[in-house]
Structure formats: C-alpha cells, structure tokens
Amino acid sequence: FTQNEVAPHMQKWDAEHIFPVEMFTKTAALGFGAIYCKEEHGGSGLSRLDASLIFEAIATGCVTSSAYLSIHNMCAWMIDSTGTEEQRAKWLPQLAPMSRLASYCLTEPGSGSDAAALKTTAKSDGNDYVLNGSKAFISGAGATDLYLVMCRTGADGPKGISCVMVEKDTPGLSFGKIERKLGWNAQPTREVVFENCRVPKSNRLGPEGSGFGLAMRGLNGGRVNIASCSLGAAHASLLAAREYMTVRKQFGKQLAEFQALQFQLAEMAAQLVSSRLLVRQAAQSLDSGDPGAPAVCALAKLHATEQCFDVCNRALQLFGGYGYLLDFPVQQYLRDSRVNCILEGTNQVMRMLVARDIIGRLGDA
C-alpha cells in the first residue's frame, strides 16, 4: 500500500502542501482509521504493537501523513476508551472510515510543556459549556471535523481540566493562519480559537476533571506512534543511502567500498534496530497494561526520535551535496522527522518522565 499509494506522492504533498484526505480514506478501508479501537463500532480491534508496525510502514512513504493518521487514531481511541455508548456509537462509525477526521487540542500559546497550566475555559451554562480561549499548533486544524479540546471546567491544575468534543461547524469556533513549517507540510497546523463557543455537556468525554488524565493516556500511545513514524523515516533513509552508495563512484570506487562509509551504515542500523526494539517493547507494555508503560513509552519516544533523526541526518551526509537537494527524498525524511523530538511532549519532557520514574523506584530491587 505504501509503495503504491503513499511514497510516489510524498514529495508532491510536501511541495504543494496537500493534506491527502483521499489517501486516508484508502488507509481506512484497510482498517487503519481506528486501529486499536474495539470492533463493535467499526474499530479494527488490533493491538498497539500492530499499530506501531502500520505507522512505521506508512511513514517509510510519508512521515507526515503517517503522523496525522496516528493523531486521528489517538483521538478515536480516546473516544472508544472513555466515551459513553452514545458517543462511541455516534463517532466511531464516522472516524473509523475516516469520513470524518479528528484533531487533538492540548497545547496553547502560553502552555506547551506545562500543559496542565492551560487557560481555555469551558464555563457551565445550563446543559451547555461555553468555551473561550485558543489552542496552538493543532495538527489538521481547519481540515478536520472533530476537535478533542482539553479545557478548564474547574480550578487551576490538572484536576480542573475536562475533555470536550467540538464539531467543526460549531458557531464560535475558528482557525488561525496555516503555519509555515520546516516539515510536516502535508498537513495543516493552525491555531484553534474559541469565542463563546457553545457545546452541549453531552459532548464531554469522561467525568468533569478527568480530561488531563485522558489526554496523557492518549499521549502514551501517541508517543509510541510518533516514534514509529521516526522508525519509518530512518528505515527509508538507510535504504536510500545504501542504494546510493552502490551507484555513486568517487576515487574510482563505489562509495560502498569505503570502509569508513560501511561503518556508517552499520552504526545507523544499530541506531534503527535498537530504536525499533524499544518502540515495540513500549507498544507491548501498553498492550499488556503494564503500570510502568508511561515511562517505557517516554523512553522509547526519547530514544527512537533522536536516534532515527540522526540516522536520517547521516543518510543525508552520505548523499553528499545531492542529499541537500529537494529532488532527493532523504532531506524530507529529515525535515519531517525533526518535529517528532518536539511534539507529543518534547524530549526534555520525556527525560523528566523517565527520570521521575527512575527516582520513584528508589528502594525497589
């Protein structure tokens, strides 16, 4: 599927800033719109491990598209795992075939890493909430249909946050300009603005005050998925570099004959394979309900996104000057995987989570 439907278009989608909605509906036909949701309402009932394989495979053809697909899947799972029967029956049959797309709205202009400090309010008014505030950097914004918005229904801090679903055509919902970015050009990133945006309380996911916990549970899987996209980028870059090294000649020899460059390939393979093992372990820790899963997911995201970015960078170097040209896709893998070290919690935040877990285990055997 990736070879036929994704990879041939990745450079065009990047250059022309095309959000490939048609391709997404084709992935949904394969069951990739709600991969790890229950089958009851159209989910595929697969595991996190399966999802990791899928996101990696699609990312070999386009990191950005696979990353959006992973965000959509994270939102679908949040509804499937937490929604009422009515919410699940309404939304999953639309999200699974990707006839409607979802966005995850946590970050705000004033709160990124310190996400629990968010300021968007949802004031109670009879059977409704009235939302005011804005969300920054929202993937898919403007092109998607359903916004899972973390907003303040109570006091300061994480316990005052709820998750409310806002449909695109709701009065009071609007979007900022499309951000200009280093990569991820095949999906729009925009601010999402709420001005007296009224939504029924029945759109709240889970009890009042449970939104931050839900957002974090979503991100545990999201981090495995984003790390899987980095695996795809590194895998494709490594293969491209290998091929180039057998074609390009300097000093009368193929590049592949220089031992210094062979060693590069070996080191890149070690970076990729160690990342893959860790990402798969994190996926399995979610599948098995391991209470230590959040730290393993953070560790996997930290390691894989940094190592795989380095693999892309080393591959670019092996292409010499050609690696810097837009004609060769390796620079796009590099650009598109760079943000994976920043979003769904920066890698500094991943270090905080891992360190907190290590210190918290002081005294354990």
Ligand X SMILES: Cc1cc2nc3c(=O)[nH]c(=O)nc-3n(C[C@H](O)[C@H](O)[C@H](O)COP(=O)(O)OP(=O)(O)OC[C@H]3O[C@@H](n4cnc5c(N)ncnc54)[C@H](O)[C@@H]3O)c2cc1C
Which residues of this chain interact with ligand X, rule CB under 6 A?
71, 103-107, 112-113, 137-139, 181, 184, 189, 339, 342-346, 348-349
Any bridge partners for residue 133, and if so which?
A: 194
The whole-angstrom separation of Cα 233 and Cα 335 is 10
Choosing from 5, 56, 208, 344, which is the catalytic residue?
Answer: 344
Residue 72 or 276: the one with the smaller Cβ distance to ligand X is 72
Phi, psi of 230 (to 5 degrees): -65, -35
Residues whose CB is less than 8 angstroms from the CB of residue 273 and which lie 6 or more positions away in sequence, other chains included? none
What is the four-CA torsion angle of 21, 108, 130, 139, rounded to 10 degrees?
0
Residues facing residue 128 across a β-bridge? 125, 200
- Write out the two tokens for 216: 């974090």
Enumerate residues 6+ apart whose C-beta is below 8 A from 288. none
Calpha distance 50→59 (Å, rounded): 14
Q: What's the half-sphere exposure (Cβ side, CA atoms, 13 Å) at 116?
A: 12
CB-based contact 260:97 (threshold 8 Å): no
DSSP states along 57-113? HHHTT-HHHHHHHHHHHHHHHHHHHHS-HHHHHHHHHHHTTTSS-EEEE--BTTBSS
Least distance to ligand X, CB of residue 255, Å: 34
* Residue 40 falls in the annotated catalytic set: no
Kindly compute the dihedral angle of the four CA atoms of residues 172, 174, 176, 177, in this order, to the nearest 10 degrees: -150
Handedness of CA 180, 183, 186, 188 (dihedral sign): negative
> Quick one: 129 or 184, whose CB is closer to ligand X?
184
* CB of 47 or CB of 121, closer to ligand X: 121
Instruction: Check: CB of residue 83 under 8 Å from CB of residue 205.
Output: yes
Task: Pick between residue 52 and residue 144 the one whose CB is nearest to ligand X.
Answer: 144
State phi, psi for 54 to the nearest 5 degrees.
-65, -45
Q: Which is nearer to ligand X, 137 or 319 (CB)?
A: 137
Three-state DSSP state, 304: helix
* Residue 288 per-residue DSSP state: T
Phi, psi (deg, nearest 5) at residue 356: -60, -40
As a whole number of angstroms, the distance between CA 365 and CA 279 comes to 25
Catalytic positions: 344
